[in-house]
Chain A
Amino acid sequence: MIAYIIRRSISTVVLLLLIATVVFLFLHLLPGDPAITILGGIDSTPDSSAIARVHQELGLDRPLYVQYVDWLGNLARFNLGNSFTSDTSVGAELMRRLPRTLMLIIPAEVLAIVIGIPLGMAAARLRRTAWDPTISALALLGFSTPVFVSGLLMVLLFSLKLHWLPSGGFVSPADDFGGFLRAAILPVITLSLGPMATTMRMTRSSMLEQMGLDYVRTARSKGVNERIVLYRHVLRNALLPVVTILGLHVGFMFAGSVLVEDIFNWPGINSYLLTAIGARDYPVVQGIVIVVATIFILINFVTDLSFAVLDPRIRYE
């Protein structure tokens, strides 16, 4: 187990280094000069001496490998550099914005699990009734509807028609917790619908698969209470694939939060990313990609480990 953790940690670090390199090369080898943006926007044509001055200030005139080593060195010290456009620290801004994105993602994931798993179990148990097709159809609708469609339709209904909830904006929970909750309800629900649907479908099909296996028949035939068969035997085995899909959700959540933050004017890391991409603000884009990639890789790491803990048959080869 320990050897496995060490090996996985090493490959995780290698993967991060690889991502850092790809991000660096990608941004520096592509067309588009941040100096032009700084000097007056993408469509302007500033004179070459001004461009050279800005390059020097930003260190962009140095050889590429010097910039690369510099970038890795700073990264190792958790220094993500300063934004080209506002000259503020990228790390500090990310630290301010990341919690806001997580305030959407974490409750949405909890909601997806708390509603998705019981619904999936119910659908599997009520296989022969009208409930199963009803729940399954709702799940199919849930992950077929684009995030921006469900988000906008909810704004239309709950904000513009019924005036129950605000249509967007962020309220700091430290200032006004009630206001924060009201502002967060619609974005969190919007974000949770897709993952809720996939969790439900995964739980259902996984339960059905397990219920057809011999050990369930054995347990039933020796007279074990149906409740215990379901919850102690079937559920435990059925949840294994569900755990993996929860790891995949993180990607889905970040993808969805790009759109959700846009719809609800939520100042998280994704709105920061969209602005930075428009302005060719290299350090900001680099910083966000690195931070998000690190979160993904760590979550995948944890998912793999929890998989190994839940299923003793998995060998840490």
Chain B
Amino acid sequence: MARTAIGDTTTLAPPRRSLGFSSWVRWFYGNPRVLLSGGFVLLLLFVAIAAPLLTRSDPNSMNATHRFLAPGSLGWLGTDQFGRDVYARILYGARLSMVVSVSAVGIAVILGVLMGMAAAFFGSPVDVVLMRIVDAILSFPPILLAIFVVAFLGSSLTNIIIVIGILYVPQFARVAYSSSLAVKENDYILAARAVGATSGRILVRGVLPNIMAPLLVQMSLSAGTAILLEAGLSFLGLGPPPNIPSWGRLIGEASRFMVQDPWGVVFPSVVISVAVLAFNVLGDALRDRLDPRLRQ
């Protein structure tokens, strides 16, 4: 009886700062940079889901008589070298970017957190081996590894997501490892262990909620770089197949016609930069809010 009472999650969790739902809402609206960046991220997610409702044109339908139309004449942002609607292609490009970045970061978080917490909990030699691997991968530029893998395994959408997901595992493993190391020294973990909580329970109920803050920050920053990575691959022609509109491919293809049609480069360039900027600003804002060391 006593055991369940003490092992209860309310005692497992440390005293929280007031980060309830209403305080998040106040933070969101009370903070212009959060409102703008978070708002743009939400907008991107909305566009990704609702792309077909926002434009009637098919992003892949070609029309030889409508090549390089100026913005505003047909379709808001004009047409490209095949007469395709640039506005529609950018909207559907948001869909690809979001799918890749959300799924890749999802894979990376799950695997990374498992690795990082395992390394922190089981100690030497598990942590030495795991963290050495992590350091080795981290020291190599992801785009080179991605080019390497994609060029040999093919660049289907699934492959791109898996490759980016695996390449991002080390970032999360690192964050989860260092925060778990700090968390596991706390008295409430010792208390949970003393009353006989299993390792799994301690990890899931005791450690995980307390390393969420740095993970959340890393997720926002990684989502931004995942967009960049996919766009970089697509720019080089190594991204998902051509029938899936992608911002990187849009820019790469338009760059060959920059003299006739500079807008074809400018529009997607602005969109991708703002999207990545939004994720970075949001990540910074989350860090300022969640990292107690910086809250002064």
Contact = CB atoms under 8 A, between A and B. Distances in A.
B251 A300 contact: no
A143 B142 CA distance: 16
B251 A156 contact: no
Interface string B248-287: 1001100100110010011001001100110011001000
A32 B142 contact: no
A152 B265 contact: yes
Centre residue among A15, A30, A148, A155 by max chain B CB count within 10 A:
A148
Contacts of A296: 139-140
B143 interface: yes
B240 interface: no
A15 B136 contact: yes
B274 to A, nearest CB: 8
B165 interface: no
Contact of A144 (B143, B224, B235, B236): B224
Nearest to A159: B258
B147 to A, nearest CB: 7
B152 interface: yes
B231 interface: yes
A267 B65 CA distance: 37
Contacts of A251: 139-141
B251 A258 contact: no
Contacts of B120: none
A31 B136 CA distance: 26
A93 interface: no
Interface string A122-158: 0000000000000000001101111111001101100
Contacts of B151: 277-278
Contacts of B280: 140, 143-144
Nearest to B231: A146
A254 B140 CA distance: 9
Contact of B141 (A143, A145, A152, A255): A255
A289 interface: yes
Given A15-B136, A156-B258, A262-B236, A274 B269 contact: no
Contacts of B122: none
B258 A155 contact: yes
B64 interface: no
Contacts of B273: 141, 144-146, 149
Contacts of B153: 30
A292 interface: yes
B258 A152 contact: yes
Contacts, number: 100
B148 A277 contact: yes
A160 interface: yes
A254 B145 CA distance: 11
A181 B99 CA distance: 42
A140 B152 contact: no
A277 to B, nearest CB: 4
Contacts of B152: 26-27, 30-32, 277
Interface in B176-222: none
B258 A274 contact: no
A148 B139 contact: no
A293 B272 CA distance: 30
A144 B262 contact: no
Contacts of B93: none
Nearest to A293: B140
B262 A156 contact: yes
Centre residue among B141, B152, B232, B251 by max chain A CB count within 10 A:
B141
Contacts of A272: none
Contact of A258 (B147, B252, B265, B281): B147
B276 A144 contact: yes
A31 B153 CA distance: 8
Contact of A148 (B141, B147, B251, B262): B251
Contacts of A170: none
A259 B235 contact: yes
Q: Kindly list the 3 A-B residue pairs having the minimum CB-CB distance in the complex, ordered from nearest.
A: A255-B141, A144-B277, A277-B151
Interface of B: 136, 139-144, 147-148, 151-153, 224, 228, 231-232, 235-236, 248, 251-252, 255, 258-259, 262, 265-266, 269, 272-273, 276-277, 280-281, 284
Given A144-B273, A153-B269, A252-B141, 19 more contacts: A26-B148, A26-B152, A140-B277, A143-B280, A146-B228, A146-B248, A148-B235, A152-B255, A155-B258, A160-B258, A160-B259, A251-B139, A254-B141, A254-B144, A258-B143, A273-B147, A274-B236, A278-B151, A289-B148
